[in-house]
Structure 1
């Protein structure tokens, strides 16, 4: 097993480091006699031990990280003197992929909280009944709470976009989380990105 993130709705994101050989092809899959069927789809994890050019073996020309969802990262340089550093960089790359893929999938705890807030506000704004309980039927309170949530969420959104840009996420990736277009995301939130971050961006707006 490599790096793993399991999501109840969207399945599993599991990653492995793969050696890229001299012809540009990925190293063949590893299988194990004691569990050949279970490991048939697993790819090589111990790249530094098998493709270092020693004892007549082929030498890797690079590395890439691949994910169970089908995503494949670009080829990266290989350093057999410091494999841990290679793994660290590839792990960051996969974390970024997983974050973008799961950007619309909050953890179960947050999903429950969001559902509870929605149900509570909707209950307060239910049609009034004769003799209804004031604690259950308060449409004006529902208006207030909805407004407060809207104002707060706009501020949370601005801060989240600012942090995402500081973490070097592109406008296209941010737009996916916003459920809008890259152009709309850029036009709405660019003024909240500090000037020093704007200067670091290529003219094409990444």
Structure 2
């Protein structure tokens, strides 16, 4: 199918798989590049390869599969509106990819964080007799770390609010927080209203 997301630590690629009678998955579907396909205006091959016409097998369900091994749940087939099926399956995969990559920093952000860490550590060296003021600034290091901590707390609350507004579960939010679902909920429930 060709949904692809690549980051610094790998990639996720997804495709739609037709689930046939008995639960068997059909081979990975691809876009058919034939005149008949374009005449029928069908984007993804499952919608005509497994429609039960002309002696072909009929899909009983669909699922999205990621190259990382993740398999989405089975979903109903709508041969009348295959694009709507694809859109729904794509949303599931995007959610999977976001949760999977929630602890993978983009290279630019990783470099910036490393630079901040190195700078604060360099300011934190013990004051030496005869040392230069610009080399020894432990009080400035304390202030910088305090500002980062205060800002990080607010950034984290805002990100959790955004995740809840996007209907991410507390279990999904707990993963990038590196904590349990219960701890995440306990920590942020005062700042983030639960979805209705």
For normalisation by structure 1, the TM-score amounts to 0.83
**Residue 83 of structure 1: CA displacement?**
1.4
**CA positional deviation for 1:12:** 2.0
**C-alpha deviation, 1:131, in angstroms:** 3.2
- 1:30 shift after superposition: 6.3
| Deviation of 1:5 (Å) | 1.5
Q: What displacement does 1:128 show?
A: 2.5
RMSD (Å), alpha carbons: 1.6
- What does residue 60 of structure 1 align with? 59
Question: Which structure 2 residues correspond to residues 53-132 of structure 1 after superposition, within 5 A?
Answer: 53-132=52-131
Unaligned runs of 5+ in 1: 32-44, 201-206
1:17 aligns with 2:19: no
Secondary structure class of the residue paired with 2:189: helix
Report deviation, 1:169: 0.8
Aligned to 1:185: 184
Q: 1:30 to 1:89 in 2, by over 3 A?
A: closer
Specify the SS of the correspondent of 2:18.
strand
Give SS of 2:54's match.
Answer: helix
1:8 aligns with 2:27: no
Give the Å deviation of 1:90: 0.7
The aligned residue for residue 203 of structure 1 is none
Q: Secondary structure of the equivalent of 1:191?
A: coil
Q: Distance in 2 between matches of 1:168 and 1:111?
A: 27
For 1:60 and 1:131, how far apart are their aligned partners in 2? 79
Q: Does the aligned pair in 1 maintain the 2:123–2:138 contact within 8 Å?
A: yes
CA contact (8 A) 2:16 2:28 kept: no
- Structure 1's consecutive aligned runs of 4 or more residues displaced over 6 angstroms after TM superposition are none
CA contact (8 A) 2:77 2:85 kept: yes
Structure with the bigger RCO (C-alpha within 8 Å, sep 6+) is 2
The number of residue pairs the alignment matches comes to 183
Where does structure 2 lack aligned partners over 5 or more consecutive residues?
31-43
Matched residues in 2 for 1:106 and 1:125: separation?
26
- How far residue 138 of structure 1 moved from its aligned partner, in angstroms, is 0.8
